[in-house]
């Protein structure tokens, strides 16, 4: 008689938790009013009583009751069913964990240590009292449950995943009933059948997830290939436009017309060409000829006499070849490099400009440091080119600086004129 009363009280408390906690957690505008809450609690209590009368307090009853209550709560809070299901499952997991701990303590130890006359009281103390205490704390500190709820909901858990987790705990609880021989033998067989079906459903579910994940990975790889092709196409277009513009600047209208005709005919213009202005027998031309610049157009606009520069020819070659090789590597076989030289007062100015990728702001101040390189340093021989450039320029009382943006990268070298005696 006492246990029946205790069981009824426990059922009422569970109904309160299953309604009040979801109502507290869901989106405020969808919360129910007092009359609706009382009615919903009454409906849940009726469902629990009917299920208990038909199936008793068995493990099988607990699983079916869980599913029926879950569906009922999602219908009651249909405007925010996901929120209601998350809150319901948090409460359900608390109840099941409490029952697992208490049942193992009672049936695994206490039940064998007490006299049969005190079994009912011990059952009340070890099985029902912890449930009452837990219900008190859950209802009093709904804000704590809400924090857990927010943490779960913010991670975009699927409804199905939450149901799976709670059912797993149901089966753990059912296993306890089987271990301590508390269930009807027929229910035991049914539990194992349901467990098999559950494992099959889970296997199919995660197999589909794995299949979809592989499809997404394949799609991402295809998109990356398309993006790379588009970037390459964009780079080619920029290089061709830049090349045509350079032809316009140097008044090569015949070559400009021929190049435009090639574009109209659908041909690719990114050829390995270079154009010299003012001096066809320059040191720069010799340096360019010694570099593999296939696919990159080079324009040389030379307006200084290199005999009038305060730097040995071998040092100048090392400086320019290092800068040009770095530019060619960065441009990845497409684009335009413009080399321009001129005089300002007592300085010779050499500018090496390319339309390759921008040098990142976090590394542009480091590129002249010894050993620094953006390349893979497999042979440990990279990272010294630009530091040598800076060293050679400054050794001859010169200056070097670099400017880089989304349109171009430009190295500017200032070297004093050779002072004639």
Q: Which domain holds residue 149?
A: 2-183
Domain boundary, last residue among 152, 167, 183: 183
Domain boundary, last residue among 183, 205, 233: 183
- 298/98 Cα distance (integer angstroms): 77
In a domain, 39, yes or no: yes
Label residue 266 by pLDDT band (50, 70, 90): low
Pair 155, 20 in one domain: yes
The residue to which tokens 């938790």 are assigned: 17
Domain boundary, last residue among 183, 216, 241: 183
List the strands of the sheet with 399-404, edge to edge: 274-277, 296-302, 335-344, 347-354, 409-416, 399-404
Pair 161, 300 in one domain: no
pLDDT at 380 over 50: no
Mapped onto helix, strand or coil, the DSSP state of residue 207 is: helix
Secondary structure tally for the chain: helices H, strands E: 14, 6
- Angle separating helix axes 2-25 and 81-105, nearest 10 degrees: 150
- 134/94 Cα distance (integer angstroms): 8
- 325/383 Cα distance (integer angstroms): 13
**Per-residue model confidence (pLDDT) at position 382:** 42
In a domain, 231, yes or no: no
Pair 175, 276 in one domain: no
* Domains held by the chain: number: 2
- Tens of pLDDT, residue by residue over 117-148, are 777 788 888 888 999 999 999 999 999 999 98
In a domain, 287, yes or no: yes
Pair 160, 292 in one domain: no
Higher pLDDT, 30 or 374: 30
In a domain, 252, yes or no: no
Say which residues have a Cβ less than 8 Å from residue 332's Cβ, sequence separation at least 6: 235, 356
CA distances from 58 to 28, 65, 105, 180, 349 (A): 37, 10, 18, 12, 92
**Per-residue model confidence (pLDDT) at position 18:** 93
- b/e per residue 395-413 (b: at least 16 CB within 10 A): ebebebebebeeebbbbeb
Pair 17, 135 in one domain: yes
pLDDT at 160 over 70: no
Is residue 142 within 8 Å of 24, Cβ to Cβ? yes
Backbone angles phi, psi at 332, to 5 degrees: 55, 45
In a domain, 305, yes or no: yes
**Per-residue model confidence (pLDDT) at position 115:** 59
Is residue 22 within 8 Å of 80, Cβ to Cβ? no
Output the pTM of the full model: 0.49
In a domain, 24, yes or no: yes
Pair 152, 15 in one domain: yes
Pair 290, 394 in one domain: yes
In a domain, 97, yes or no: yes
- Domain CATH number, residue 338: 3.30.565.10
Least Cα distance to 384 among 398, 397, 367 occurs for 367
In a domain, 239, yes or no: no
Least Cα distance to 27 among 69, 84, 96, 66 occurs for 84
- Tens of pLDDT, residue by residue over 384-419, are 578 889 999 999 899 999 999 988 899 999 999 887
Do the bridges between strand 399-404 and strand 274-277 make them parallel or antiparallel, or are there none, so unpaired? unpaired
């Amino acid at each position: 008689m006492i246990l029946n009363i205790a069981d009824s009280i426990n059922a009422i408390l569970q109904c309160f938790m299953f309604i009040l906690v979801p109502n507290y957690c869901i989106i405020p505008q969808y919360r129910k009013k007092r009359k609706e809450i009382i009615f919903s609690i009454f409906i849940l209590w009726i469902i629990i009583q009917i299920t208990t009368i038909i199936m008793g307090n068995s493990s099988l009853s607990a699983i079916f009751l869980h599913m029926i209550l879950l569906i009922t709560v999602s219908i009651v809070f249909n405007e925010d069913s996901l929120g209601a299901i998350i809150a319901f499952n948090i409460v359900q997991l608390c109840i099941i964990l409490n029952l697992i701990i208490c049942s193992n303590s009672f049936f695994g130890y206490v039940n064998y240590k007490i006299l049969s006359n005190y079994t009912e009281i011990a059952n009340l103390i070890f099985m029902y009292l912890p449930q009452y205490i837990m219900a008190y704390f859950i209802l009093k500190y709904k804000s704590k449950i809400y924090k857990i709820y927010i943490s779960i909901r913010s991670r975009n858990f699927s409804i199905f995943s939450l149901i799976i987790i709670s059912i797993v705990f149901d089966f753990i609880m059912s296993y306890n009933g089987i271990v301590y021989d508390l269930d009807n033998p027929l229910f035991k067989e049914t539990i194992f059948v349901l467990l098999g079906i559950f494992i099959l459903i889970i296997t199919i579910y995660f197999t589909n997830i794995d299949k979809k994940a592989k499809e997404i990975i394949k799609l991402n790889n295809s998109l990356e290939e398309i993006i790379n092709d588009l970037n390459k196409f964009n780079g080619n277009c920029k290089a061709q436009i830049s090349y045509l513009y350079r032809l316009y600047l140097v008044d090569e209208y015949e070559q400009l017309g021929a190049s435009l005709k090639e574009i109209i005919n659908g041909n690719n213009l990114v050829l390995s060409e270079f154009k010299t202005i003012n001096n066809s027998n320059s040191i720069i031309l010799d340096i360019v000829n010694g570099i593999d610049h296939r696919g990159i157009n080079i324009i040389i606009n030379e307006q200084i006499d290199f005999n009038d520069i305060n730097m040995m020819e071998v040092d100048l070659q090392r400086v320019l070849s290092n800068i040009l090789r770095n530019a060619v590597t960065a441009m990845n076989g497409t684009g335009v490099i413009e080399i321009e030289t001129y005089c300002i007062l007592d300085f010779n100015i050499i500018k090496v400009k390319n339309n390759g990728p921008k040098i990142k702001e976090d590394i542009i101040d480091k590129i002249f440091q010894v050993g620094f390189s953006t390349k893979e340093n497999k042979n440990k021989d990279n990272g010294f080119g630009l530091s040598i450039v800076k060293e050679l320029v400054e050794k001859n009382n010169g200056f070097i600086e670099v400017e880089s943006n989304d349109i171009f990268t430009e190295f500017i070298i200032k070297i004093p004129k050779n002072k004639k005696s």
